[in-house]
């Protein structure tokens, strides 16, 4: 079966490898509270940039938000003189709140996510009984990416690949020779993302991962999360497709779909839900915006009892 989006992505990476196209500069900010890596990627020639998977600080006990983590991104962008074109989300995260609307107000950029976000909005809109004022059409975002959609960061070519499995809406953004793969693969010594959230599916995740692994071995890979691994004492969020194919403990070359799905399903059954899943999902399904205030002017996060 031909896969023209993947072929385009491969050709794009190879152009950078051959020196026929510029490589983007990537700076990452790791939030140890949620184990999330936010990436700022830019074209050194034009200084145009994208922010990928930002984090809003949220203290669950008090319900307080703050911007210490996101401010680091603002400071870096201003110090480097970058112009932000995009605020990209690889998916609707269940473990941290997005700071994209706040960053958009500070720095600009179009807010974008995968088009299948409408399925996520439909599922979680029901779970949280969000009411008719919550639009489930993706209209909270400036752009919804479909598989194979091409875009650019300044003069650097980019393409969006739909890589579902962790959630239905997961996208990978291949920008020059750098792939921002969201929650698909983790570091080779840690494995892969869980596939047991609503709409997740282990076999689909396997096929999405094998698709990413068809990118050239030298493709730089930037992860959304790291949790360290047994025997590793530091966080890491950058690897390569070659290293993943050779060494990924869950899905290195030679692991088949059946074996992966059995491993993934058994492992997921042992995992507890992320600490911040309730606020994260309610905010991120709204494009990172809080629910509308109630009649007293206060915004609330709901917790459905015995529903998840």
Nearer to Fe ion, 31 or 183 (CB): 183
Output 85 or 284, the one with its CB closest to Fe ion: 284
Helix 68-80 × helix 100-107 angle, to 10°? 30
Q: Residues 183, 201, 226, 244: which binds Fe ion (CB under 5 A)?
A: 183
* Shortest separation between residue 166's beta carbon and Fe ion, angstroms: 6
* Shortest spacing between CB 67 and Fe ion, in angstroms: 21
CB-nearest residue to Fe ion: 183
Residue pair 192/248 in contact by the 8 Å Cβ criterion: yes
Which residues make Cβ contacts (< 8 Å) with residue 222, sequence separation at least 6?
26, 28, 37, 39, 52, 178, 179, 180, 181, 237, 238
Give the span between the Cα atoms of 120 and 168, in whole angstroms.
Answer: 7
**Window 65 to 94, contacts with Fe ion (CB under 5 A):** 93
Kindly state the smallest distance separating residue 182's Cβ from Fe ion, in Å: 7
3-state secondary structure of 131: coil
Specify the 3-state DSSP secondary structure of 45: coil
Of the ranges 69-77, 115-123, 183-191, 210-218, which one interacts with Fe ion (CB under 5 A)?
A: 183-191
Short-list 255, 169, 269, 183, CA closest to 225: 183
Closest separation in Å from C-beta 268 to Fe ion: 13
Whichever of 177 and 183 has its CB closer to Fe ion, that residue is: 183
d(CA 153, CA 251): 31
Q: Which of residues 217-246 bind Fe ion (CB under 5 A)?
A: none
In the complex, minimum distance from the CB of residue 194 to Fe ion, in angstroms, rounded to a whole number: 8
Q: Which is nearer to Fe ion, 93 or 250 (CB)?
A: 93
Q: Taking CB under 5 A as the rule, does residue 43 contact Fe ion? A: no
In sequence order, the 6+-apart residues with CB closer than 8 A to the CB of 217 are 240, 241, 242, 245
| 82 burial type by CB count under 10 A (0-12 exposed, 13-18 middle, 19+ buried) | buried
Q: How many residues bind Fe ion (CB under 5 A)?
A: 2
Q: Nearer to Fe ion by C-beta: 2 or 270?
A: 270
Question: 295: buried, middle or exposed (CB in 10 Å: 19+, 13-18, 0-12)?
Answer: exposed
Q: To the nearest whole angstrom, how small is the minimum distance from the Cβ of residue 134 to Fe ion? A: 21
Q: Which is nearer to Fe ion, 93 or 119 (CB)?
A: 93
**Interface residues toward Fe ion, by CB under 5 A:** 93, 183
């Amino acid at each position: 079966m031909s896969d023209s989006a993947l072929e385009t992505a491969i050709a794009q990476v190879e152009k950078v490898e051959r020196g026929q196209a510029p490589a983007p500069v990537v700076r990452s900010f790791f939030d140890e509270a949620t184990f999330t890596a936010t990436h700022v990627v830019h074209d050194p020639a034009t200084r145009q940039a994208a922010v990928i998977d930002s984090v809003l600080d949220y203290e669950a006990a008090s319900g307080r938000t703050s911007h210490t983590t996101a401010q680091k991104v603002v400071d870096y962008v201003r110090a480097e003189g970058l112009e932000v074109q995009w605020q990209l989300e690889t998916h609707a995260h269940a473990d941290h709140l997005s700071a994209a609307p706040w960053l958009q107000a500070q720095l600009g950029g179009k807010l974008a996510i995968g088009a299948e976000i409408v399925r996520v909005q439909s599922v979680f809109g029901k779970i949280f009984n969000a009411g008719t004022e919550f639009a489930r059409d993706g209209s909270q975002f400036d752009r919804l990416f479909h598989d194979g959609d091409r875009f650019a960061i300044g003069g650097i070519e980019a393409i969006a690949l739909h890589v579902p499995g962790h959630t239905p809406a997961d996208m990978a953004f291949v920008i020059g020779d750098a792939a921002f793969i969201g929650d698909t693969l983790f570091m080779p010594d840690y494995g892969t993302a869980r596939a047991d959230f609503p709409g997740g599916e282990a076999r689909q995740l396997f096929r999405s991962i094998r698709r990413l692994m068809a990118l050239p071995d030298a493709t730089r890979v930037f992860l959304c999360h790291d949790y360290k691994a047994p025997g590793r004492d530091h966080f890491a969020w950058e690897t390569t497709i070659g290293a993943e194919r050779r060494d990924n403990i869950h899905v290195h070359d030679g692991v088949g779909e059946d074996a992966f799905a059995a491993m993934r399903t058994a492992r997921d059954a042992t995992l507890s839900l992320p600490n911040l899943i309730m606020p994260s999902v309610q905010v991120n399904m709204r494009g990172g915006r809080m629910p509308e205030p109630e009649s007293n002017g206060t915004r609330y996060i709901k917790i459905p009892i015995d529903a998840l």
